[in-house]
Structures are given as structure tokens and as C-alpha cells.
Amino acid sequence: MTLSMLLAIPLGIISAVNQDKPADYAARLFTVFGLSIPDFVIGTVTILFLTFYLDDATFGLLDSWLPPLGWYPPWEDPWTNFQALSIPVVILAYRSSAVSARMMRSTMLEVLREDYIRTARAKGVTERAVVFRHALRNSVIPVLTIMGAQTSFLFGGSVIVEQIFRIPGMGQWTLDSVGQRDYTAVQGAVLMMAVVFIVVNLAVDLMYGMIDPRIRYS
């Protein structure tokens, strides 16, 4: 989720500030691919590209490389653990960031047309200050709402990604428990997912007050 925010918010800002320019078209194409292509296709194509076509695509600058598949405890081999988890994490974050980036673009465009933004520009405020000090704080709230709701979709997508990269994660464990009719394990998994979903959305609600000074909790 953190990686998704780091991708989506800057991408949405760049797309909105450069509306109908090459940067905007590139960002929109990036998000369309993220919304259109399923996770299992992205994962399979990524493995094929890194294994067989990376050498040709970079004209020999980089050798073809197969990322380590499976689970490696970070306390035993941190570097291998990082390599094994980096690609699955990026794939899961890509789809989530595509939705959030489109939302960020639309809300940023709406805010940039507000009267107070026009007034700030008329007073001589720099464009950078207008975007990051005034427009960003008001346009990021709907994006936070979307990201909180996407927590449940990350659990669903993780089952497929874990299967492709052979990671014994919670999604795969839940699926195996359903197949084995281990109802206690299924109940525990559902309870854990519900707790994570509640905690994430509670954190999102608390962030509203930090971002928007009009929101106060009493």
C-alpha cells in the first residue's frame, strides 16, 4: 500500500499539471495497462521477460535474470528475501496505483480550477507552491479513501501472485485451507483480514485530520 501511494500520487500530479501533454498521455497509458491487465498476466510476462528477453531488450547491457522464487526468511538471507519479494510487491502495487493515480488526476484537475487557486496565481504564488501547498492537500483526500478501500482487493490479488511466485503467504494458506475444509484456519484468516482492513481504514480516517485542517475529531 505504501508503494502504491508513492507511485500513484506523483503520477497523478504529473498527469494533471501536464494535461493533454506527452507526460499526461504516458501516465494515462500507464494506468490503463494497470487497470486492464490481470495480475497473473503481469506476473507471468515479467518472469518471461526477465528470464529470456532482458538481454536482447537492453542490447546486452543487462544479462537475463531469473528472480528467486519462493520464500526466504529475511533473518537468514535478507538480500535473497528482498529479491524474491520485490517483483510480487511491485505487481500488486501497480494495479492499486493505477486506480489511485486516475483518481488523483481527476481530483487534482478539479481543484486546480477552483477560485482560490486562481486567486493564489494572481497574487504571484509560484506554480510549485500552488500545486503542492494548496491543491495537493485538497485533492489527496479522495485518493486516501480509495486506497483504504483497496486493501481488500490486495488480499484477493495476493492469492494469484503468491501462486505464480511460489510464496507461501496468507492468501495461498487461506486457499489451501478452503480446499482442505479446515474451517478453523479459514475463520482465522478471515478474522485477520478483517482486522487489517479495519486498522488501515482507521489510519486513513486519522490522516484526514492531518491533511485537511477543516476536519477535527472531538
Tell me: the pLDDT tens digits for 135-190?
888 888 888 888 777 776 676 667 777 777 777 777 778 878 888 888 888 888 88
Tell me: the pLDDT tens digits for 65-113?
666 677 777 777 777 778 777 888 888 888 888 888 888 888 888 888 8
Q: What span, in angstroms and rounded, lies between the C-alpha atoms of 16 and 31? A: 13
* Domains with residue ranges and CATH for the chain: 2-211 (1.10.3720.10)
Angle among Cα 62, 64, 65 to the nearest 5 degrees reads: 110
155 CB-contact burial (10 Å; exposed 0-12 / middle 13-18 / buried 19+): buried
CB atoms within 10 A of CB 158: 21
Q: Provide the CA 1 distance to its chain's centre, in angstroms.
A: 5
3-state secondary structure of 218: coil
Tell me: the pLDDT tens digits for 56-67?
666 666 666 666
Asked if 112 and 16 touch (Cβ cutoff 8 Å), the reply is yes
Closest by CA position to 7, among listed 103, 82, 85, 84: 103
Three-state SS string over 9-43 comes to HHHHHHHHHCCCCHHHHHHHHHHHHHHHCCHHHHH
